[in-house]
Amino acid sequence: MRIGILTGGGDAPGLNAAIRAVARRAFQLGHRVSGVKNGWAGCLEEGLIDELMPADVRGILPLGGTILGTSRTNPAKERDGIARVVKTLKHHGVDALVPIGGDDTLSVAARLHEAGFPTVGVPKTIDNDLAATEFCIGFDTAVGVVTEALDRLHTTASAHHRVMVVEVMGRDTGWVALMGGIAGGADLIIIPEFDLTLPDVVAHLYRRRGEGKLFSIIVVAEGAKIPELERELGGEAEKDAFGHTRLAKRGIGDILASAVERETGFETRVTVLGHLQRGGSPSPVDRIWATRLGVAAVELIVDGKSGVIPIRRNGGVEVVPLTEVITESRRVPKELYDLTYVFV
Ligand code: F6P
């Protein structure tokens, strides 16, 4: 059998670990492997699909990015897009596909399965917002980046008695902000799941000063809502093929920092971590779980399964239908967010 591998959507540290795992297990079981270039874009027209040999996946475990390239191309938006993807894959002799991605990539994967093409996904997104799974490739590394940044910002914030606003990624959910904020000892964490008002933020900062805490670190997710600032935030930026606006263009970190300085008179600086959170070498957790799920995906394919995805649940590998991870975004629960108020 020839097994195809594809990485789609925003890149994330650990994608190469997953590619290596899929390929190595496939070779071990006596199968051939093809790499689809640039996400779903590589499955349209003639296709950008090349044979992967063992040497191609050697030494890639610690590498960030994806050796296959990625894109946010959405074939479901194109005329006969899904049928064309299937045709291209078949034309290149691919019998089954392992797409590695988040809700967008996996929604196309589910359509391929419905169209009768054997497809087994692997969960990836630094946003950590896929339903059902306790692990998404890239999240752990992103949290590590935020944590290290907060450690560094603490020393300079403390030296200058400043407020530091740190904007992090997280489109519809605040997992990176929350976990990075907890690990890095943030004084206030603002996420899309739970709105805060500007007066809430200001009161919080005054209270800390009143307690003799001369600096504060605020972590804000790029998609968070602060009603008083909505008018000032960047307008509707252009949308990608999956209908997402570029949230970094809203500039919530910058706008919040200006508002804080204006309202409190406290000297305030902003740091936007941006794509640093997606770059560089994956953490051990991302490597280990990308490896486990990549191997599991191949075993499912070889077993004749399709329309499913291996996930982490209760600390082990479980298999669920693809539709289960993409039906809704997994949001931060209130009881977890409330933990942050112990450390204000
Ligand atoms: O979906 C993952 C993500 O990292 C979001 O957190 C962020 O809004 C988006 O990708 C940024 O994407 P791009 O690579 O298009 O700037």
Find the mean pLDDT for residues 182-188.
98
Q: Which two tokens stand for residue 225?
A: 């809502």
- Among the residue ranges 172-186, 239-253, 329-343, the one predicted with the least confidence is 239-253
β-bridge pairing 188-190 and 163-168: unpaired
Question: Region 99-116: what's the mean pLDDT?
Answer: 98
Q: Which atom of ligand 1 is nearest to the CA of 240?
A: 15
Residue 223 Cα: closest atom of ligand 1:
8
User: pLDDT tier at 94 (50, 70, 90 boundaries)?
Assistant: very high
Ligand 1 pocket test, candidate residues 74, 244, 273, 276, most atoms within 8 A of CB:
244
Residue 237 has pLDDT above 70, yes or no: no
Is 127 considered catalytic here?
yes
Amino acid at 295: V
Pairing between strand 216-221 and 122-123? unpaired
Give the Cβ contact number of residue 230 at 10 Å: 11
In the chain, what percentage of residues exceed pLDDT 70?
99
- What confidence tens digit (pLDDT) does each residue in 302-334 have? 999 999 999 999 999 999 999 999 999 999 999
Planar angle of CA 46, 91, 75, nearest 5 degrees:
55
Task: List all residues whose CB is within 6 A of at least one atom of ligand 1.
Answer: 10, 102, 125-127, 169-171, 222, 246-247, 278
Q: What does the pLDDT read at residue 196?
A: 95
* Residue extent(s) of CATH 3.40.50.450 domains in the chain: 2-138+282-326
CATH class of 2-138+282-326: alpha beta
What pLDDT does residue 343 have? Answer: 87
Point out the catalytic residue in the list 11, 103, 104, 127: 127
Distance 31 CA to ligand 1 centre (A): 34
CATH 3.40.50.460 in the chain, residue ranges: 143-278
Read off the pLDDT of each residue in 165-178 and give the average, rounded to a whole number.
Answer: 96
- Across 38-51, b (16+ Cβ under 10 Å) vs e yields bbbbbbbeebbbee
User: Average pLDDT in the 148-172 region?
Assistant: 97
Q: 173 vs 7, 131, 194, 224, 330, CA distance in Å?
A: 22, 12, 10, 8, 8
What mean pLDDT, rounded, does the chain reach?
A: 96
Q: Right CATH number for 143-278 from 3.40.50.12780, 1.20.200.10, 2.130.10.10, 3.40.50.460? A: 3.40.50.460
What is the C-alpha separation between 310 and 22, in angstroms, rounded? 12
* CA separation, residue 153 to residues 311, 338, 341 (Å): 35, 24, 20
pLDDT in tens, 13-22: 999 999 999 9
Question: What's the whole-model pTM score?
Answer: 0.96
Which residue type sits at 119?
A: T
Following DSSP, what letter does each residue of 41-108 receive, concatenated?
Answer: GGGSTT--EEEEPGGGGTT-TT--S-TT------GGGSTTHHHHHHHHHHHTT--EEEEEESHHHHHH
Which atom of ligand 1 is the closest one to the Cα of 170?
6
